[in-house]
A and B are shown apart, each in its own frame.
Chain A
C-alpha cells in the first residue's frame, strides 16, 4: 500500500514539476491576421522541436474556427477578437490549417524547419 502511495505521490510530483517547467519556459510568438477570410501570412515558418504560440487576430465581423488535423488543433476565434494557439514541438515538415467557416479562402500552412546554426549564419 505504501509503495502504491509513494508511486502516486512521485508521479504527481513529476507531473507538477513538468507543469511548472512548462509555465516558466519562454514561448516564441507569431502574429497572424485574419481579414476578409484570409490568413496573413498564410505561410508561417517556425523552428523544429520548439513550442510556439500563434496569436491570430480576427479582423472580420464573423467568427472563424481554426482547424488542423495534422497540428491536432481546433479553436474558435471570435469576431474582432484574438485567439492564442500553442503548437509544437514539431518535426520538420508542412502542416496545413484552415478556417472551418470559410474553408475555400481561409487556408494556410505551418512550415517547420531546422534552425540554421548561428555559426553558419556568420559565415
Chain B
C-alpha cells in the first residue's frame, strides 16, 4: 500500500504540473531513468552544443553522485557555459535528488521522481525542477518519459513556471550499443533525433556509460541542431 500512495501522489503532482504552463527555451539534456542502484557512486561529464540562427551555445556539466539508500541518490553539479564574448566559465551550481518509487518490474511500469535546485554563479537567480520519471519495457525495447515542472525566480528574471517533456525509446540491442529515438518539447521548441548509449563493464560495480544524441529542432528556425554527449563512470 505504501507504493500505492507513493504513485498516487506522484501522478496527482504530474497532473497538476502539466495543467500549469509550458516551458520557454530548450532543454535538450539527459532523459532520466527512474532507477537507483544501492551503493553506487558516479562521476559524470555532460556536453551540450546547440547551433541555431543566433549562434552556438556550449554547456558542460561535471557531477559527482552517491546513492544514499536503495531508493534515493544525490548528485552535485558544476555547470560551465560559453558566454556571449566566447569565454567559457562557471555558470551555475546544482544539486539533484532522484527517488525510485517502485522496484524495477514490480508494477506495469517503473516510476521515480526527480528534484533539482540550481543557482546561477554570482547572480541571484534560482531554478527548482521537479518531475515524474517513467519507464516501461516492451520486450527488448524500453520507453522512458520525463515530465518536469520548473520554477525560476530571482532578482533579474521574471518568476515563472515552466514545463518540460523528454522521451527516449531505446532498443536494448547490445550492452555496448543501444540505439534510441529522443524527443524533447517546451514552449517554442520541439526536437527529435537519434540517440545511442552503451555500457562497458569493468570489475565489480565499476562501469562506464556513454550517451550520444543529435537533436534537430522542428520549431521553424532555419537551423537548430543540438548535440549532446555524456560519460558516466560508476564505481
Chain A interfacial positions (CB closer than 8 Å to B): 5, 8-9, 12, 15-16, 18-23, 51, 63, 65, 69, 72-76, 78, 84-88, 91, 100-101, 103
Contact = CB atoms under 8 A, between A and B. Distances in A.
Contacts, number: 69
B159 interface: no
A69 B175 contact: yes
Interface string B150-184: 00000000000000000000001001000000000
10 contacts: A8-B18, A19-B7, A20-B4, A22-B106, A65-B205, A73-B104, A76-B38, A78-B38, A84-B103, A101-B204
Most chain B beta carbons < 10 A, residue from A15, A16, A74 = A15
Nearest to B199: A69
Nearest to B201: A100
B19 interface: yes
A53 B14 CA distance: 29
Interface in B72-119: 103-109
Contacts of B14: 12
B117 to A, nearest CB: 27
Contacts of B142: 72
A23 to B, nearest CB: 6
A87 B8 CA distance: 23
Contacts of A84: 103
B100 to A, nearest CB: 11
Contact of B37 (A69, A72, A74): A74
B108 A63 contact: no
B172 A63 contact: no
A88 B15 contact: no
B15 A76 contact: no
Nearest to B142: A72
B105 A73 contact: yes
Nearest to B178: A69
Given A19-B107, A76-B70, A86-B103, A8 B15 contact: yes
Given A23-B107, A76-B38, A5 B205 contact: no
B107 A22 contact: yes
Contacts of A78: 38
A93 to B, nearest CB: 11
Interface centre among B38, B105, B137, B139 (most CB of A within 10 A): B105
B3 interface: yes
A19 to B, nearest CB: 6
A75 B35 CA distance: 10
A20 B108 CA distance: 9
A76 B204 contact: no
Given A15-B11, A86-B105, A101-B204, A63 B39 contact: yes
A84 B108 CA distance: 16
A20 B102 CA distance: 13
A23 B108 CA distance: 9
A20 B3 CA distance: 10
Contacts of B11: 12, 15-16
A48 B26 CA distance: 43
Given A23-B3, A23-B4, A51 B15 contact: no
